[in-house]
Amino acid sequence: MIIEAIPARPEPTMSDAHPLDPFFTPRSVAVIGASSRTSSVGYAVFRNLLFGSIAGTRREDGFPGPVHAVNPKGGELLGQPVHRDLASIGAPCDLIVVAIPPAFIPDLIDESARHGVRAAILITAGFSEMGAEGHALQEEVARRARAQGIRLVGPNCLGILRPASGLNASFAAAAPPAGGIGLLSQSGALITGIISLARQEQFGLSAAISLGDKADVADQEMLDFLAADDRTKAIALYVEAARSPRAFFEALRAAAAKKPVVAIKGGATAAGARAATSHTGSLAGSASAYAAAFAQAGVIQAQTVEELISWSRALALQPPAAGDRIAIITNAGGPGVLAADAAFRAGLRLAELSPATHAALDAVLPSVWSRQNPVDIIGDAGPERYAAALDILGAAPEVDGVVLIMTVQAMTDPGATAEAIARAHANPAWTMPIVCSFIGLIGTDLGRYLDERGVPELDTPEPAVRAMAALVARGRFERRTRTAPWDASALPAPDLERAARLVAEAQRAGQRNLDLARARDVLAAAGLRYNESGTAEDGDEAAALAERLGYPVVVKLISPDVLHKSDVGGVVLGVIDSDGVREACDRIRASVARHQPGAVITGFTVEQQVSGTEIIVGTSRDGDFGTLLMVGMGGVFVEVYKDVTFRLAPIVREDAQAMIEGIVAQPLLDGARGRPRLDRGELAEVLMRISDLVTAVPSIEELDVNPLVITERGLVAIDARVIATAASGQ
């Protein structure tokens, strides 16, 4: 197979189209701490810049501009003179890569400013990751750099690679092929692993960026650079913790609006754990906050490195899918079945082939072809048969994307088949995405051949199908349309000023956990509809109230000391007469005394009993992103089933609709087994009102509306919990 030659790289120029261009298009580079010791970082960085990789020997494979070595010892290194300091170079230097002990770097920054340095990559470790002393030194370096107008990447980072221009300003062992994936990672070691995969699988990167301790340049600025970069077609992101989470979120949203972004969150299980009082708070955490930020921004979240890479490869090469109906072409039944299973798990549909498509396939395939989707074109399929099936399915209006599988058999010709696929894909009539899997050909030139021609080739069928699912998700995001407003006249008009006054009154009264009556008033002021209810001080008042409301009723505890009423026996359902109401009040008093002795009981709420499907709406405060909004299946088992979705407040109507669509138990919302059917527009309106409430009243730390019941007359709030910050001076 013939592989096209890589064109010669132009001489470096400084375009300054973006503030971070000095890191990627410098005219000259100096390595501070270049060393003849082959095991040193300074040696590795200098060699990478000169020759493109540690094993490289040709100068034309490295950075095409001047590369200077700087070391007080002077001498010669790899055939290049070693300058004792920056002044000895005798010319300005746009970018420096620093591999000297931390204590010398502050003075180096001052010296760099006098010699035209505009950007510095600090490879050196020993800063904020080392504790308070290291953090103080890092702050000093950053302060001096800001004062001198020098931008910093690092410290404690791998460096930056720009494969298409030969810039390998890192100590990675090798450089990846050039391509369309912009890789941004908090972990330098992960970058080196992905570079190894890229070389083995022959896919390309537009950039590989290790940020390290983020003394200056942070995730959001690099996201902005990659979003504006013509070479980058998709962004792959590994993040553990953003330095400025809200700015990071806004940068994610801006980047995803321009091109696909795939992200994986490290530390998702342990980070962010905290004591929480509401249901929402106990379900929220670092992982939930980042997942909400990703979903809200239009970022596709991966769970594994394999997904991060395979999805980014597909998104960098292929157009988004117009729908979720896929066709599978295979020359073997088993892999086709596995691909179909993977499609179901990924939420994709197998396209129902039309009679016209069946007839067209009958004309070109053996009579024993599968006659259904997956389209099994039989084990002896050659390039012509694959090409014919592709031409037909690529033009079928009932198909939105094709997953093509080839297993190597005695009769197959993988190279010619790859060429046939590339020709079909290059046809101007071909518009839908395609992902291939040539099983058993890992690391061969076939993957590179197809990738260079815009077709991602993955090792096995399941990753290929999941990559197609990423293309479907991107298409769904790009097709999103503004949701029409819902007629809110059936709900009470919001009065957020009154809600703020009610919370402030509770704070002055020493209540952080608002009693039930106050909590209901706050949510009613936000514009939620409640069932008929009232409060009573004792059993006799409660019985009289129940007579006015009508039976059956629910009797609930009112206590500022009890967070979850059901946990202490503070809720009695299905009360049908006045004696039952008095008995319920007595039972609640006795139960609270057993489960939480000393808890103050201020009274009882008596409510009309409402039946229907229970959901929950709530908010909690995340230490990084601020207020999180949650919706999901509610009731007492919300923390068991955890069928909930999150977004960052404030939200817009499209966010609310996406949250509702993220609930797994959609059949219950749609009225399964005779249940009332959810009006999704009404629930979206409720979510927006809760978002408006917590935005307007920031002293609300957490709240739950649980349950919010789907009834025949719409959504009815039954119970509420509002937790506010302590008033000043308490």
Residue extents of the structural domains in the chain: 21-172, 319-478
pLDDT digits (tens, 9 = 90+) for 417-459: 999 999 999 999 999 999 999 997 776 787 788 988 999 999 8
Mean pLDDT of 207-233: 96
Q: How far apart are CA 296 and CA 23, in angstroms?
A: 30
The pLDDT assigned to 728 comes to 63
Question: CA torsion 458→462→467→468, rounded to 10°?
Answer: 110
Instruction: State the pairing for strand pair 159-162/95-98.
Output: unpaired
DSSP at 130: G
Within a 10 A sphere around the Cβ of 598, how many other Cβ atoms?
7
Strand ranges across the sheet with 167-170: 167-170, 159-162, 205-210, 178-185, 234-239, 261-265, 300-301
Band of pLDDT at residue 233, cut at 50, 70 and 90:
very high
Q: Which two tokens stand for residue 394?
A: 């690529």
Q: How far apart are CA 612 and CA 400, in angstroms?
A: 39
Instruction: Output the pTM of the full model.
Output: 0.89
pLDDT higher than 70, residue 281 = no
One-letter amino acid for residue 374 of the chain: P
Q: How far apart are CA 355 and CA 164, in angstroms?
A: 47
Is there a shared CATH topology between the 21-172 domain and the 319-478 domain? yes
The pLDDT assigned to 274 comes to 42
The pLDDT assigned to 279 comes to 47
The pLDDT assigned to 447 comes to 76
Band of pLDDT at residue 6, cut at 50, 70 and 90:
very low
Band of pLDDT at residue 13, cut at 50, 70 and 90:
low
Beta bridge partners of 167: 162
One-letter amino acid for residue 397 of the chain: P
Beta bridge partners of 645: 631
Q: Which two tokens stand for residue 335?
A: 């892999």
Q: How far apart are CA 372 and CA 328, in angstroms?
A: 10
Q: How far apart are CA 680 and CA 90, in angstroms?
A: 69
pLDDT higher than 80, residue 688 = yes
Band of pLDDT at residue 179, cut at 50, 70 and 90:
very high
Band of pLDDT at residue 474, cut at 50, 70 and 90:
very high
DSSP at 725: P
Q: How far apart are CA 396 and CA 430, in angstroms?
A: 11
Helix ranges (H only) for 596-729 are: 638-641, 653-661, 666-669, 680-696
3-class secondary structure, 50: helix
Instruction: Kindly tell me the burial class for residue 66, based on how many C-beta atoms sit within 10 Å of its own C-beta (0-12, 13-18, 19 or more).
Output: middle
H/E element holding 2?
Answer: none
pLDDT higher than 70, residue 269 = no
Q: How far apart are CA 341 and CA 353, in angstroms?
A: 18
pLDDT higher than 90, residue 62 = yes
pLDDT digits (tens, 9 = 90+) for 655-677: 999 999 999 999 999 999 889 99
pLDDT higher than 60, residue 541 = yes
Band of pLDDT at residue 2, cut at 50, 70 and 90:
very low
CA distances from 648 to 130, 284, 491 (A): 33, 11, 24
**Is pLDDT larger for residue 446 or for residue 704?**
704
**Is the bond preceding 552 in cis, omega lying within 30 degrees of 0?**
yes
Contacts of 60 (CB under 8 A, 6+ apart): none
CA distances from 410 to 377, 379, 407, 447, 621 (A): 15, 9, 10, 20, 61
CATH architecture of 319-478: 3-Layer(aba) Sandwich (3.40)
Within a 10 A sphere around the Cβ of 636, how many other Cβ atoms?
14
Say yes or no: domain 21-172 is CATH 2.20.25.90: no
pLDDT digits (tens, 9 = 90+) for 114-167: 999 999 999 999 998 888 999 999 999 999 999 999 999 999 999 999 999 999
pLDDT higher than 50, residue 270 = no
Within a 10 A sphere around the Cβ of 193, how many other Cβ atoms?
14
E strand map for 75-177: 76-77, 80-83, 95-98, 119-122, 151-153, 159-162, 167-170
- State the DSSP string of 559-607: -TT-S-GGGGT-EEEEE-SHHHHHHHHHHHHHHHHHHSTT----EEEEE
Across the chain, mean pLDDT equals 92
- State the DSSP string of 416-462: HHHHHHHHHHHSTT--S-EEEEEET-TTSHHHHHHHHTT--EESSHH
The pLDDT assigned to 7 comes to 38
pLDDT higher than 60, residue 12 = no
Phi, psi for residue 200 in degrees, rounded to 5: -75, -45
One-letter amino acid for residue 544 of the chain: A
> Is there a contact between 259 and 253 (Cβ–Cβ < 8 Å)?
no
The pLDDT assigned to 200 comes to 87
Mean pLDDT of 624-636: 92
- State the DSSP string of 475-498: HHHHT--PPPPP-GGGSPPP-HHH
The pLDDT assigned to 241 comes to 85
pLDDT higher than 70, residue 328 = yes
CA nearest 459: which of 449, 447, 471? 447
Mean pLDDT of 63-78: 96
Q: Which two tokens stand for residue 175?
A: 């450089």
Band of pLDDT at residue 730, cut at 50, 70 and 90:
low
Contacts of 411 (CB under 8 A, 6+ apart): 379, 380, 382
pLDDT digits (tens, 9 = 90+) for 37-46: 999 999 999 9
